A and B are shown apart, each in its own frame.
Chain A
């Protein structure tokens, strides 16, 4: 499943970059994220709780910054997480791209999401909608925080 989300931030690219690369702080912008902590260079452990109707997933996993290029304003992030209670896992690779336009910065996140195991029983449509909401909330929250 592939998605692209964008958010426009009224701040310089440098400021947005600094915010984005502070992973524990940036991750708190994802609704449902709890306890993100560093575990080595560019690796973080964390938990994401997602509720779909009566079903609650608690995704436990790690997030790795696999590439970063401050000059180009690009970074790649890979997240692997599993829910041991329901029995399922997700893998997401995200390509982040910042581009400065006059006094604004556009944040673009291209996500490729794979869903494995029982979580897939929801159906791709519902998962896609939920992931879409999460990523858009993240982009919007980040934009708000930088402007603060």
Chain B
């Protein structure tokens, strides 16, 4: 297999190359997913356009409003070790630290991970639970999109081939909010999740649930927001019974597949168990 490898030094140059190559071009960030697909022979681009030589895409910093901005080319490891990220949300750091092995985390990027749209990845559910948005550049300008709606199917996003994710913006976390990321790994520590649950929950002054967001990974063609579970908790006191009943609703929201990590029925049941555990951790 042969292809031309391009290292543009500006985003505009990268966009121009992507426009020129059309379907023959493939954008590469860290390359952990792209190189695998190429080695498997599934992806055979004539041109690979790398983002690694473009400056200014890998910063991680708090915003003046108290949010967090992560450059699309920041590696998972950089987020994991970032004081700014940890100060924003330890659960976010947990999600990035859960990915595969340190060798992968040193190479895989935040933007590449989102563009790959693998539903079993760890960062997307946590980013969606934290209500993150991405900034996307194309020759037509800039737009933003919620991480929650970015993936539309297995390995498929709403991005067109000439769009590049440039950063991820996480809004300020309201006081009283708790966050958690749980990953169920029955086989090995570096495996993909069998089920993962990212959740945020904010208490009102009267100890009822003011707001809650629950997003699951690995149990559908995309990450799945458990809206019925959320609705069953919002405005209520999260007693153990109510949490148990609410978590049971997740079984009808997920859409898992049978694979070597378990049957669809098993994963549906594990989604319930781990949703209940995540909610218990947030209300303890």
Task: Answer yes or no: B2 CB below 8 A from chain A CBs.
Answer: no
Interface size class of A (residues with CB under 8 A): 20 to 34
Asked whether B154 lies within 8 Å of A54 as measured between CB atoms, the reply is no
**A85 contact from B26, B44, B221, Cβ within 8 A:** B44
Q: Closest residue of chain A to B42, judged by CB?
A: A55
Picked from B23, B156, B259, the residue with its CB within 8 Å of the CB of A53 is: B156
Do residues B40 and A118 form an inter-chain contact, with CB atoms below 8 A? yes
Q: How distant is the Cα of A123 from the Cα of B259 in the complex, in angstroms?
A: 8
Mask: chain A, 112-138; 1 = CB below 8 Å from B; 0 = not: 000000110111111011100000000
| Cα–Cα, bound, A86→B38 (Å) | 10
CB-CB under 8 A from A86, the residues of chain B are 41-42, 44
Q: Which of B34, B42, B257 has the largest number of chain A CB atoms within 10 A? A: B42
Instruction: Using A125-B257, A125-B258, A129-B221 as known contacts, say yes or no to A52 and B156 having CB atoms under 8 A apart.
Output: yes
Interface pair A54/B37, CB less than 8 Å apart: yes
Task: Return the contact of A121 from the options B42, B154, B155, B259 (Cβ within 8 A).
Answer: B42
Interface residues, chain B, CB within 8 Å of chain A?
Answer: 23, 26, 34, 37, 40-44, 116-117, 153-156, 221, 257-259
CB distance from A131 to the nearest CB of B (A): 12
Measured CB to CB, the nearest residue on chain A to B161 is A54
Indicate if the CB atoms of A124 and B40 lie closer than 8 Å: no
Asked if A15 is at the interface of the complex by the 8 Å CB criterion, the answer is no
Interface presence of A32 (CB below 8 A): no
B26 touches A54 (CB 8 A): yes
Per CB-CB distance, the 5 closest pairs between chain A and chain B, nearest first, are A53-B155, A125-B257, A121-B40, A118-B41, A125-B259
**Known contacts A52-B154, A52-B155: does B257 contact A122 (CB below 8 Å)?**
no
Contact A122 B42 (CB under 8 A): yes
The reply to whether A129 and B155 contact each other, CB–CB distance below 8 Å, is: no
Beta-carbon contact of A56 and B23 below 8 Å: yes
Chain A: which residue is nearest B44 at the CB level?
A: A85
Closest to A125 in B: B257
Q: Is the beta-carbon distance between A121 and B257 smaller than 8 angstroms?
A: no
Contacts of A87 in B (CB 8 A): 41
Complex Cα gap A68–B163 (Å) = 49
Is the pair B257, A55 in contact by a Cβ cutoff of 8 Å? no
Q: What is the minimal beta-carbon distance from B266 to any residue of chain A, in angstroms? A: 14
